[in-house]
Amino acid sequence: MTIPKPESIRSILATDCGSTTTKAILIERRGEEYRLIVRGEAPTTVEAPFEDVTRGVLNAIMEVEELAGRKILDGEKIMTPQSGTQGVDLYISTSSAGGGLQMMVSGVVKSMTGESAQRAALGAGAIVMDVIASNDGRLPYQKIKRIRQLRPDMILLSGGVDGGTTSHVAEMAELLAAADPKARLGAGYELPVIYAGNKDARKIVEERLAHKTALKTTDNLRPVLERENLTPARDMIHDLFMEHVMAHAPGYRKLMTWSPVPIMPTPGAVGLIIETIAREESISVIGVDIGGATTDVFSVFQGVFNRTVSANLGMSYSVSNVLAEAGLPNILRWVPFEISEHDLRNRIKNKMIRPTTIPQTLEELIIEQAISREALRLAFEQHKMLAVGLKGVQQERTISDTFEQTASGETLVRLDHLDLLVGSGGVLSHAPRRAQAALMLLDAFLPEHVTELAVDSIFMMPQLGVLSTVHPKAAKEVFEKDCLIRLGSTVAPVGPGKEGVTALRATLEFPDGRRETLSIPYGYLKLVPVPEGQSVKAVLNPDRGLDLGAGKGREREVVLKGGVVGVIFDCRGRQPFTLPADRERRISKLAEWNEALDAYPVAVKV
Amino acid sequence: MAHSYTPGLKVSAFTALRRERKLPLAGTVLVSVGQPVQAETIVARTELPGNVQTVNAANILGVLPEDVPDCLVKPVGSPVKKGEAIAESRSFFGLFRSKVLSPTDGTLESVSTVTGQALLREPPIPVEVDAYVDGAVVEVHEKQGVTVETRGTFIQGIFGIGGETCGLLHVCVGGPAEALTEASLGSDVRGKVLVGGSHVTTRVLNRAIQLGVKAVVIGGFDDQDLREFLGYDLGVAITGSEEKGLTLVVTEGFGEIPMAGRTFELLKSCEGRKVSVSGATQIRAGVLRPEIVAPRLTEAIPPEVRAGGAEPEGLTVGSLIRAIREPYFGHLGKVVSLPPELVPLETEAKVRVLEVDFGDGQRTLLPRANVEMIES
């Protein structure tokens, strides 16, 4: 099957097989531009009783057919190319079903090649189950036992700079060979192992692993200490994901024959889109995709892309793990009404065992959104820990400095430098009111100074990510016009303050020349409607202990972009942000903030 | 648009089913096709390679890694005893000897000339797989295991704890809405699979363990009890390897929920019979639900019942469903209509819905995502 020429493509059908839901979108060329026409979805069918991913894909496409009033399927086959008003010119897909791509990575020094290998795997869209390194503190037999237990889909072995010592790499290869690891899916195929370490050790690695695993070799991902070269390893992960892993997941062999474009792991596709926004607008971006099983965080700061996945933080399969990791009090702190621990615990577990259900009552919706704040917060904490720079790259230094600086890598993620925060995933994209999504993002990420907020309208970043590899124009047009919903800007002064005392004075100048002066007390939220596509000029004067990016108490002039929610002045405090300890005060404060943003249909009763 | 629905749990009075019994790695199959087996029959056996221990021989001997093979006193591949010398070196005109002693009983597997490490493999660990259910072998997977076919009553639960077991089934309560208490356990329960009604507590489960009960099947269970029972907060629903001394199968969900009438009646019809129970649950990636299998091998398979079952059908008017989310959680009813259009909920979300009669003659609107079909 060949990929049609971009200019000849009139219609595109794209699916994303998530762990819970399979989403299908139909894109058509209307005049000179590409637009989203409809979206359909159906439960993913990787699991029993179907055990065939294509069932869910067909169901989602059937829904697209019904909604668009257009025939796409001929029996159980997608009609390509488009003929008249039937069929489509291109079909593409991403997938994270069946637990996604689960990898184990290995390096020599945990914080150096180990970390680089981890970043390469994460960037390719994998879940990293463990990082095994010479200096990870485990005894050899413990490492071997661990490798055996894990049963990953793939292993990435790295270590050493080119031309360096080979003995540690050999040691890691020997451990792997001794463990004789087996692949997760299907006993009948050899586990793919990618070697991306010291090129001088290739032969040694081959001798030890080639007869026991499906070994592939690629360029060293850390050729010199000061530079990472992750792309070859990432590309190889994608290739092997298709060749080995996907081919053994139920129904994927069939699905792969439907598309001329390789199936991409969902997070890898979302990462592509986030990188593109950051590059084209020259801004710092954080993107988050909260799914049923996992939460992915992507960031681009100083031009460096990072992705992490929190494998067990999600809103359905992993919802109970959010409770286990965050603790009940942290979830309850976001719930603006009384609920017993006993009741909440049972509700969360019932969602875990029936992951595809949705909130029917307002109370249930608010609880789910409370849980999501904690899942997002925890995933972001994990991201900050891994998104660290290659230390001291641009500094003149001796080799001893290199080691010193490696031990103390600072996070690249700076909330005070963040320009755009994009949310994606069911709980954010499908929040009945966009203000709910804005508030979830604010509460979980606590952006500082001035930041723009956006959500993926109907959760189609994965499909657009894979589309961007074959038709960048169509991907960009749909992304800007139909996918990204700009919620508005937020202004959040940093520093401690006293409840009720004026924290910020702002003078706003609207496009029609109207001027408005605001005074917002500490501990309050204030929403100023500014529609999407419009901006206001603002002169911001924080109180003397507070900083908006120009220094404590210093005036700052900015342009604030509007959005479907508007401009949110968040004077609830940063560093620290605290919720009242007293239960009644906390509940009344939450209700007040919800009301300030008109987040829910009726005021939630205390 | 009947595509959005959750396939329900199987609750079947009589069905044929197959269970694959496979070794984790290649071994010996001990039974043949057509052979009748009991749940306890060992059908395949293998030996897992033992754990590996490493010794840095080059360091101990004070020689270069490439010289280690010359120092071996035991050839690679030979069996060794714990404390036995595997290599030695002499220095200072042969006056001082350094010895590398084996840290374990096992085999000297390899010696690396790059790292100077000696790898010792502990003795193999035997692994056996039993038939799990009474039935007959219908397929042999060479060196891997077998497929056992059985027929009888089959009930899936929603969530379980603990692995596979079997025993005689005993219903301890008068009805599906009655909780299982210490008093209702009775005394003659050793080795049995007990069926309760709506609820059980950790205290009762612990008492059941003391009495030698093999498994408990119950409608509902509280998460707080689950945490107490396991000793930790269960994060992801992947279970089956817990070693609590008892297997638990929850049929409805978390909370106090009467067991579905049909499930209860079917279990009651199995009173005194030998049943196989598994608590293994895996909701993510290849859904696995806990189950109770009560073989009835003397009865013939009706022609319409075939192993594997028919393709599940979607929701239709008349389908029996169970509500699986608040505010109607646990209610059973019948679908009366499937409106095609999206309908706004109290949350303002617009979703696909269905109308259901919970037996009160009223029509109640529910999101389609919040119901589960009751399948037989």
Question: Does the pLDDT value for residue A442 go beyond 60?
Answer: yes
CA A417 – CA A575 distance, rounded (Å): 15
pLDDT at residue B92 in the model: 66
Looking at the complex, report in whole angstroms how far the Cα of residue B24 sits from the nearest Cα belonging to chain A.
Answer: 8
**B132 lies in some domain:** no
pLDDT value, residue A280: 85
Rounded to an integer, the average pLDDT of B11-17 is: 90
Give yes or no for residue B376 having a pLDDT over 80: no
Query: Cβ atoms within 10 A of the Cβ of A207, count?
Result: 13
Based on the domain organization, do A106 and A232 belong to the same domain?
A: yes
Which one of B4, B237, B348 has the shortest CB-CB distance to A352? B237
A184 has a pLDDT exceeding 80:
no
Domain interval for residue B105: 52-121
Please indicate, yes or no, whether residues A140 and A92 belong to a single structural domain of this protein: no
Residues 110-149 on B with a CB inside 8 Å of A are 110, 112, 114-115, 117, 119, 121, 144
Q: Tell me what pLDDT residue B2 has.
A: 38
CATH number at residue A200: 3.40.50.280
- Average pLDDT rounded to a whole number, residues A522-536: 96
Band the pLDDT of A484: cuts 50, 70, 90.
very high
Q: Calculate mean pLDDT across residues B281-298.
A: 83
pLDDT at A265 > cutoff 90: no
The mean of the pLDDT values for chain A is 88
- Between positions 67 and 106 of B, the ones with CB within 8 A of A are none
**Is residue A237 included in any domain, yes or no?**
yes
Separation in Å, CA of B186 to nearest CA in chain A: 29
Judgement on whether residues A107 and A196 belong to the same structural domain of the protein: yes
Under the banding of pLDDT at 50, 70 and 90, the label for residue B117 is: confident
Q: Which of A47, A357, A433 sits opposite B324 (nearest CB)?
A: A357
The answer as to whether B305 is a domain residue is no
Same domain (yes/no): B108, B167: no
Kindly state whether residues B228 and B165 are assigned to the same domain: yes
Interface pTM, i.e. ipTM: 0.85
Kindly list the residues from chain A whose CB atom is less than 8 angstroms away from the CB atom of residue B345.
Answer: 359-361
Asked whether residue B4 is assigned to any structural domain, the reply reads: no
How near does any CA of chain A get to the CA of B350, in Å? 8
Do B76 and B207 fall within a single domain? Answer: no
CB atoms within 10 A of CB A208: 23
**Among A460, A320, A443, residue whose Cα is nearest residue A373:** A443
**Residue A469: domain span:** 263-311+372-492
C-alpha distance from A428 to closest chain B C-alpha (Å): 12
Q: What is the b/e burial string over B254-292, where b = at least 16 CB atoms within 10 angstroms of the residue's CB? A: bbbbbbbebbbebbeebeeebbbbbbbbebbbebbbbbb
Smallest CA–CA distance, residue B74 to chain A, in Å, is 20
Contact A360 B325 (CB under 8 A): yes
Q: Does residue B369 belong to the interface with chain A, where contact is any CB pair within 8 Å?
A: yes
* Cβ B225 vs Cβ B202: under 8 Å: yes
Q: Phi, psi (5° rounding) for residue A383? A: -65, -45
Give the total number of structural domains in chain A.
Answer: 4
The verdict on residue A326 lying in a domain is: no
pLDDT tier at A188 (50, 70, 90 boundaries)?
low
If phi > 0 it is left, if psi is from -120 to 50 it is alpha, else beta; for residue A434 that is: alpha
Do B253 and B178 fall into the same domain?
yes
- Structural domain count of chain B: 3
More confident residue, B7 or B370: B370
What lies within 8 Å, CB to CB, of A23 at 6+ separation is A15, A16, A39, A40, A41, A60, A459, A460, A463
Domain assignment of residue B143, yes or no: no
- pLDDT for B155: 95
Name the token pair of A55. 């069932």
Q: Give pLDDT, residue A151.
A: 77
| Same-domain pairing of A129 and A248 | yes
pLDDT digits (tens, 9 = 90+) for A211-233: 889 999 999 999 988 888 888 99
Question: Which pLDDT value is given to residue A148?
Answer: 76
Instruction: Enter the pTM of the model.
Output: 0.83
CA–CA dist B284, A362 (Å, integer): 27
pLDDT in tens, A315-372: 988 899 899 889 999 999 999 998 999 999 999 999 999 888 999 999 999 999 999 9
Instruction: Examine the domain organization and report whether B103 and B196 are in the same domain.
Output: no
pLDDT at position A396 is 45
The residue from A445, A470, A492 where one domain ends is A492
Q: Of A51, A73, A97, at which residue does a domain stop? A: A97
**Which residue from A144, A170, A358 is facing B369, i.e. has the nearest CB?**
A358
CB contact under 8 A, B347 and A361: yes
Q: What is the CATH number of the domain that holds B32?
A: 3.50.30.10
Residue B129 per-residue DSSP state: E
Domain stops at, among B295, B310, B342 = B295
Contacts of A46 in chain B (CB under 8 A): 285-286
A223/A198 Cα distance (integer angstroms): 7
Q: Is B364 contained in some domain?
A: yes
Q: Are residues A192 and A67 in the same domain?
A: no
From A258, A277, A294, the end of a domain falls on: A258
Model confidence band, residue A305 (pLDDT cutoffs 50, 70, 90): confident
Express each pLDDT in A47-77 by its tens digit.
666 778 899 999 999 999 999 999 999 988 9
Is the pLDDT at A582 greater than 90? The verdict is: yes
